A and B are shown apart, each in its own frame.
Chain A
Amino acid sequence: MNLDFLALAQMAVSGGLMGMAYALVAYGFQLTHAAGKAVNFGQGELVMLGAFTGLSLSGCGLPYWAAVTGAMIAGALLGWFVERTAVRLALQQHNEGWVLLTIIVGLFWFSAAENIWGREDKPFPVPWPESALDFFGISVTWQELAVAAGALGMMTLIELARRYTMIGIAVQAVSADQDAAELCGIRSRTAISLSWAVSGIAAAFAGTIIGPVTTVGPTMAAALTLKAFSVAVVAGLGSSFGLLLVGVALGASENISGFLLGSGWREAPALILLIVGLALRPQGLFGKKIIRKV
């Protein structure tokens, strides 16, 4: 019994640390939703492309940090590209076409990745040791710590920029009232593009911290979109803290269900959370606004 409890706790902790990365991907949804009332249904593909870009760059002999930086630059460009191609026109015409268009652009990224990098999952080398630390019988790997610290750090950094730089406050103003922001001389389209670029950075960075844990392959995209979307729906898109909480809970529960019911059941909690969340509390646990019906 004691051993079982310890095993469960072990699963919960490593899953929960991983869940912070889901929260980071979901945070990417929150950024674009706040600015332009749209989200990228191909966000998982951006995570995957970020991971592949990082992998290729470190394959070229670049040190890890340079590869991560390169992946983030690629993520910014990709996020910006998705907004320009799939979202802007639809929103200007006040229709919901962006839902389908972002999915289509995501499928395009998926095929492109299969053609460029192949279908096999590849390991992502990292500079930290393989060893684990021991906390009261629960082992935590350096890798897991890096995921948690990276996700937390990136979210904190973006939140600080949103609150304490003039450009961040201007982006918040565009979310609150786009016409009034324009009247203050804020170029609202630029602010929305910027949000998409930052969302792309978050996704690509998430790829470079998730990649070493899960290995990198084209199929990682769909699963991540689903998980991040579940987190976003359950938490609501109003609170970054809520995203973290739900992300950790999802990470822990999928690890535990994989452990108790078999690895085929790992993906179940995300789906169940999504369905229950939509049915019981469509505005999210921490949300004020209702996510657009999609």
Chain B
Amino acid sequence: MLKTENLRAGYSGDDAVRGISIEVAEGSCVALVGANGAGKSTLVKALCGLIEPRGGKVLFGGKNIVGLPASEIARRGISLCPEGRHLFSPLTVEENLLLGAYPRLPSFGPFRRTASGDLRHIYEMFPRLAERRFQQAGSLSGGEQQMLALGRMLMARPRLMILDEPSMGLAPILVKEIFKTISSLRATGMTILLSEQFAKSALLVSDRAYIIERGSVVLEGTSASLAKNPAVMEAYLG
């Protein structure tokens, strides 16, 4: 479904992503594991069009999407939950969710009615969001914000979900909760690309994984085999 070929990307100066080739098959959960600053975030931003790659290809459903604006890539079905969540904090919880479904909703018409089915689904999944639907997103707790970020992605009915550091800044009990949500999404057949520092949890929830160091893939394989690899476990205890 998603494939990168020798992708290079970065901000100013040196490339932060130095020729990475990965593949995410339909219906699978793939993890990108690596330390802070290994280039994972740069890689997912390049996939989504938030930064323009310097070289290489990104194929989504067989078509090269390099150079498309982020909004266009989102409309094709790739949904990114960025590091740090990036909610629309002055807007309400429900408005945030509605914005997730923006391309599907009428610009002027009764958008709440059009989205009501999807909204109900999200509120069943995360009852806390239903309680706080008219509250400002910025006033939510960290865990609730992460739920909202996931909910906003799901509103888009994505073909591929990319989660960048979903556990960042959360208490251990909430991290557990998030990974539970990820594995239940995976069980529904959702295709997921997960970028994570915590190797143990990431390998537990994924089918395949890539270990990334200094902008390159250093190891790849099934998550089960990587989890048994002592070198991996030593380097990325967590």
Complex: A140 Cα to B106 Cα, angstroms: 43
Shortest distance between the CB of B115 and any CB in chain A (Å): 9
Is chain A's binding surface mostly helix, strand, loop or mixed?
helix
Pair B86/A185 contact, Cβ less than 8 Å: no
Pair B71/A182 contact, Cβ less than 8 Å: yes
Q: CB-nearest residue of chain A relative to B76? A: A185
Proximity string of chain A (135-178) to chain B, C-beta cutoff 8 Å, 1 when within and 0 when not = 00000000000000000000000000000011101101100110
Is A291 part of the contact surface with B, judged by Cβ < 8 Å? no
Q: CB-nearest residue of chain B relative to A163? A: B95
Complex: A183 Cα to B106 Cα, angstroms: 18
Proximity string of chain B (5-45) to chain A, C-beta cutoff 8 Å, 1 when within and 0 when not = 00000000000000000000000000000000000000000
Pair B106/A173 contact, Cβ less than 8 Å: no
Give the interface centre of A173, A177, A184, A188 by most chain B CB atoms within 10 Å.
A184
Complex: A183 Cα to B84 Cα, angstroms: 14
Query: With A185-B74, A187-B71 in contact, is A180–B88 under 8 Å at CB?
Result: yes
Which chain A residues numbered 177 to 209 have a C-beta less than 8 Å away from chain B?
177, 179-188
Pair A186/B102 contact, Cβ less than 8 Å: yes
User: What is the interface residue range for chain A against chain B?
Assistant: 10 to 19
Give the interface centre of B71, B95, B100 by most chain A CB atoms within 10 Å.
B71
Which chain A residues numbered 226 to 283 have a C-beta less than 8 Å away from chain B?
none
Query: With A183-B70, A183-B80, A183-B82 in contact, is A177–B105 under 8 Å at CB?
Result: no
Pair B89/A185 contact, Cβ less than 8 Å: no
Is B134 part of the contact surface with A, judged by Cβ < 8 Å? no
Give the residues in chain B near A167, CB-CB below 8 Å. Answer: 107-108
Contact among A177, A185, A187, A188 with B88 in the assembled complex (CB-CB below 8 Å): A177
Pair A176/B103 contact, Cβ less than 8 Å: no
User: What is the interface residue range for chain B against chain A?
Assistant: 20 to 34
Q: CB-nearest residue of chain A relative to B79? A: A183
Is B98 part of the contact surface with A, judged by Cβ < 8 Å? yes
Is B156 part of the contact surface with A, judged by Cβ < 8 Å? yes
Query: With A166-B105, A170-B99 in contact, is A185–B91 under 8 Å at CB?
Result: no
Give the residues in chain B near A177, CB-CB below 8 Å. Answer: 86-89
Shortest distance between the CB of B175 and any CB in chain A (Å): 22
Pair B102/A166 contact, Cβ less than 8 Å: yes
Pair B99/A181 contact, Cβ less than 8 Å: yes
Contact among B48, B49, B95, B156 with A169 in the assembled complex (CB-CB below 8 Å): B95
Is B221 part of the contact surface with A, judged by Cβ < 8 Å? no
Give the residues in chain B near A179, CB-CB below 8 Å. Answer: 50, 70, 82, 86
Is B3 part of the contact surface with A, judged by Cβ < 8 Å? no
Complex: A188 Cα to B102 Cα, angstroms: 12
Complex: A172 Cα to B152 Cα, angstroms: 16
Pair A165/B107 contact, Cβ less than 8 Å: yes
Give the interface centre of A180, A181, A187, A188 by most chain B CB atoms within 10 Å.
A180
Pair B50/A184 contact, Cβ less than 8 Å: no
Q: CB-nearest residue of chain A relative to B152? A: A184
Is B117 part of the contact surface with A, judged by Cβ < 8 Å? no
Contact among B86, B106, B152 with A166 in the assembled complex (CB-CB below 8 Å): B106
Complex: A167 Cα to B105 Cα, angstroms: 9
Which chain B residues numbered 102 to 139 have a C-beta less than 8 Å away from chain A?
102-103, 105-108, 111
Complex: A183 Cα to B88 Cα, angstroms: 12
Is B75 part of the contact surface with A, judged by Cβ < 8 Å? yes
Which chain B residues numbered 61 to 90 have a C-beta less than 8 Å away from chain A?
69-71, 74-75, 79-80, 82, 86-90
Shortest distance between the CB of A286 and any CB in chain B (Å): 15
Give the interface centre of B86, B99, B105 by most chain A CB atoms within 10 Å.
B99
Pair B88/A176 contact, Cβ less than 8 Å: yes
Give the residues in chain A near B79, CB-CB below 8 Å. Answer: 183
Complex: A173 Cα to B152 Cα, angstroms: 13
Pair B88/A172 contact, Cβ less than 8 Å: yes
Q: CB-nearest residue of chain A relative to B107? A: A167
Shortest distance between the CB of A124 and any CB in chain B (Å): 32
Q: CB-nearest residue of chain A relative to B138? A: A176
Complex: A148 Cα to B152 Cα, angstroms: 41
Shortest distance between the CB of B109 and any CB in chain A (Å): 8
Contact among B74, B95, B105, B107 with A183 in the assembled complex (CB-CB below 8 Å): B74
Complex: A184 Cα to B88 Cα, angstroms: 11
Complex: A189 Cα to B156 Cα, angstroms: 20
Shortest distance between the CB of A255 and any CB in chain B (Å): 36
Interface pairs (5), CB distance under 8 Å: A166-B105, A179-B82, A184-B156, A185-B102, A186-B71
Given contacts A173-B88, A176-B89, A184-B74, 16 further A-B contacts (CB under 8 A): A165-B107, A166-B106, A170-B102, A172-B88, A172-B95, A177-B86, A179-B70, A180-B86, A180-B88, A181-B99, A182-B49, A183-B48, A184-B71, A185-B71, A185-B74, A185-B103
Chain A residues within CB distance 8 Å of chain B: 165-167, 169-170, 172-173, 176-177, 179-188
